Amino acid sequence: MTIKENVAVAIVFLVSLPGMLYAALMKCKSRMLRRSPSHLVLGIVVGLLVTAPGAAAPGNCLGQKMPVHQCVADNSKMMETRTTRSRPWLRPASVLAVGILAIMLVGAQIAYASPTSGMPNQQCIRDATGFTQGTICTAGDVVISRFEVISGPASCIDGEQVTLTVNATLESNSEKSRYDVGLWVDQNGGDAMSNGNVCYRDYLNPITANPSPTDLTNGQGPFLNSELPPDVCGEISAKALNIYDLQEFTILCQDNDGNGKLDVGTCSSWDVTADQNLCTGTLTAKPDQSSKCNCGYTPVGNVVF
């Protein structure tokens, strides 16, 4: 085959492989494999490596009275000729294409985020959930304890609009993990719970799948997630502290606790049970029960009021 033919085969294989992988993954009923599609990719790559030209050479050298490196070289030449004739899809261009695809898929498995992350001018908790009970958000499992300013003014005047980028410190007071953690920030000078108020909304992302590593304090994750795809919203483990960078938003300058510094109405929300609700982005990161949220006023760095 010519170089052009090699490239054509590689492109066809590269385009069709994601569909095959996805179909195999969706049909697999194993919970562990559904959480870790990288294992499937790894298996494919290993399979290619062990059947690729020269891969079987070390085994063929057993019992042959010659230096191993010479045996490997001789067998590699023989295998390359035999393999490329019978299986042209194992030529270098195809193997390279598969390797690139494997890296892309593993990277996507390690950390991925929904494009709906960080949305201003949304409904606050009561309107977004439809809760009509007189008292809601009574639990304290997850709280937003403070905001640190990444970019924004050092001071503001009462009633003026302030545009900020901040990171949020989320603290777990629960003995168990809490799932699909959502963040709500009031933008009009009130609380993040009442009907008619306008909120910036967000959720913990990007996420990772067990047992991939997490980074809970750098502001950008990846954060823990043990729920099944296509859920993309992070969780917070028992007694953990997470730091999350929010997107830029605008709030009203106010001092609700009278300490001379800016604060803002916020709520955190969560699910108690894994896989109870499907969370696919900002607008689906909502509490699964009317009590499973916590609201109050959160200090915003050291912005002087």
- pLDDT single digits (tens) 6-58: 445 455 455 455 544 444 444 333 333 333 344 434 444 433 443 344 443 34
What pLDDT does residue 208 have?
86
What pLDDT does residue 259 have?
93
What pLDDT does residue 210 have?
66
Tell how far CA 16 is from the center of its chain: 25
User: How far is it, in rounded angstroms, from Cα 294 to Cα 193?
Assistant: 9
The pLDDT tens digits of the residues spanning 139-184 come to 999 999 999 999 999 999 999 999 999 999 999 999 999 999 999 9
Residue that wins the pLDDT comparison between 136 and 67: 136
What pLDDT does residue 71 have?
44
Which of 198, 204, 209 has the alpha carbon at shortest distance from 271? 204
Q: Please report where in the chains the tokens 């892309």 appear, as a residue.
A: 104
Which of 113, 148, 145, 75 has the alpha carbon at shortest distance from 230? 113
- Window from 29-33, 80-84, 217-221, 290-294 with minimum mean pLDDT: 29-33
Please report, in angstroms and rounded to a whole number, the separation of the first and last CA atoms in the chain: 73
Mean pLDDT across 100-125: 62
CB 165 within 8 A of CB 147: no
CB 125 within 8 A of CB 293: yes
CB 10 within 8 A of CB 94: yes
- Tell me how far apart the 2 most distant CA atoms of the chain are, in Å: 88
The pLDDT tens digits of the residues spanning 206-231 come to 998 766 789 999 999 999 988 999 99
Mean pLDDT of the chain: 75
- The answer for residues whose C-beta is within 8 angstroms of residue 35's C-beta and 6 or more apart is 209, 210, 226, 228, 229
Beta bridge partners of 165: 151
What pLDDT does residue 212 have?
76
User: How far is it, in rounded angstroms, from Cα 278 to Cα 82?
Assistant: 50
What pLDDT does residue 56 have?
38
Q: Give the β-pairing of 223-225 and 198-203.
A: unpaired
Q: Give the β-pairing of 241-245 and 249-252.
A: unpaired
What pLDDT does residue 190 have?
94
